[in-house]
Amino acid sequence: MNDWTGGYVADLNYTHGYYQELSPLRIGMAFASAGLQTPASGTACELGFGQGVSANIHAAAGITRWHGTDFNPAQAAFARDLAAVSGNGAQLVDQSFAEFAARDDLPDFDYICVHGIWCWVSPANQALIVDFVRRKLKVGGVLFISYNCQPGWAPMAPVRGLLTSYTNTMTAPGAGRAQRIDSALDFTDRLLDTTPAYFAAYPRVAERLKSLRAQNRQYLVHEYFGRDWQPTSFAEMADILGEAKLTYACSAQYLDHIVELNLSQPQHALLAELTDPVFFQSVRDFMVNQNFRCDYWVKGARPLLLLEKAETMRRQRVVLVAPPHLFELKITGRAIEGQLSEAIYLPLLQLLADYQPHTVGELEAALADQGLTLTQVFEAMLVMIGKGNLMLAQEPDAIEAATATAQRLNLALFEHARSSEEIAFVASPVLGAGVSAPRIVQLFLLAHAQGLRGVAALTDFVWNTLSSQDHRIVRDGVRLDDPADSIAEITLQAERFEKDFLAIYLALRVIA
Contact 437, 69 (CB under 8 A): no
* Beta bridge mates, 475: 478
Do 473 and 352 lie in a common domain? no
**421-434 pLDDT, tens per residue?**
999 999 999 999 99
Do 243 and 125 lie in a common domain? yes
Residue 66: give its domain's CATH number: 3.40.50.150
End-to-end CA distance of the chain: 51
* Beta bridge mates, 330: 339
Beta strands 109-115 and 474-475, pairing class:
unpaired
Do 236 and 383 lie in a common domain? no
Do 137 and 55 lie in a common domain? yes
Q: Rounded to whole angstroms, how far apart are CA atoms 415 and 364?
A: 42
pLDDT above 80 for 468: yes
- Residue at 372 is within a domain: yes
- Residue at 113 is within a domain: yes
Q: Rounded to whole angstroms, how far apart are CA atoms 181 and 188?
A: 11
Query: φ and ψ at 297, to 5 degrees?
Result: -120, 150
Beta strands 43-47 and 65-69, pairing class:
parallel
Task: Specify the 3-state DSSP secondary structure of 336.
Answer: coil
Q: Which of 203, 224, 245 is the last residue of a domain?
A: 224
Provide CB contacts within 8 A for 103, sequence distance 6+.
Answer: 95
Do 248 and 128 lie in a common domain? yes
Omega of the bond prior to 203 within 30 degrees of 0, cis? no
Do 67 and 112 lie in a common domain? yes
User: What is the phi-psi region of residue 363: left when phi exceeds 0, alpha when psi lies from -120 to 50, beta otherwise?
Assistant: alpha
What is the model's pLDDT at position 144?
Answer: 98
Task: Specify the 3-state DSSP secondary structure of 397.
Answer: helix
Band of the pLDDT at 208, cuts 50, 70, 90?
A: confident
| pTM of the predicted model over 0.85 | yes
Amino acid identity for residue 421 in this structure: E
Q: Which of 267, 298, 329 is the last residue of a domain?
A: 298
Across 410-428, average pLDDT: 96
Task: Specify the 3-state DSSP secondary structure of 327.
Answer: coil
pLDDT above 80 for 219: no
Do 369 and 402 lie in a common domain? no
What is the model's pLDDT at position 9?
Answer: 55
How many helices and strands in the chain, by DSSP H and E?
Answer: 23, 16
Do 162 and 279 lie in a common domain? no
Q: Average pLDDT, whole number, for the chain?
A: 93
Range of the domain at 465: 396-428+437-507
Do 113 and 255 lie in a common domain? yes
- Say which DSSP state 373 is in: -
Q: Which of 174, 207, 224 is the last residue of a domain?
A: 224
Do 138 and 261 lie in a common domain? yes
Q: 185-194, 411-420, 432-441 — which is least confidently predicted?
A: 185-194
Q: Rounded to whole angstroms, how far apart are CA atoms 427 and 511?
A: 9
Q: Rounded to whole angstroms, how far apart are CA atoms 508 and 219?
A: 30
**281-336 pLDDT, tens per residue?**
999 999 999 999 999 999 999 999 999 999 999 999 999 999 999 999 999 988 88
- Residue at 15 is within a domain: no
Beta strands 317-320 and 358-359, pairing class:
antiparallel
- Residue at 304 is within a domain: no
Task: Measure the CA angle with vertex 79, ends 76 and 81; round to 5°.
Answer: 110
Contact 71, 95 (CB under 8 A): yes
- CB-based burial, 249-267: b 16+ in 10 Å, e otherwise: bbbbbbbbbbeebbbeeeb
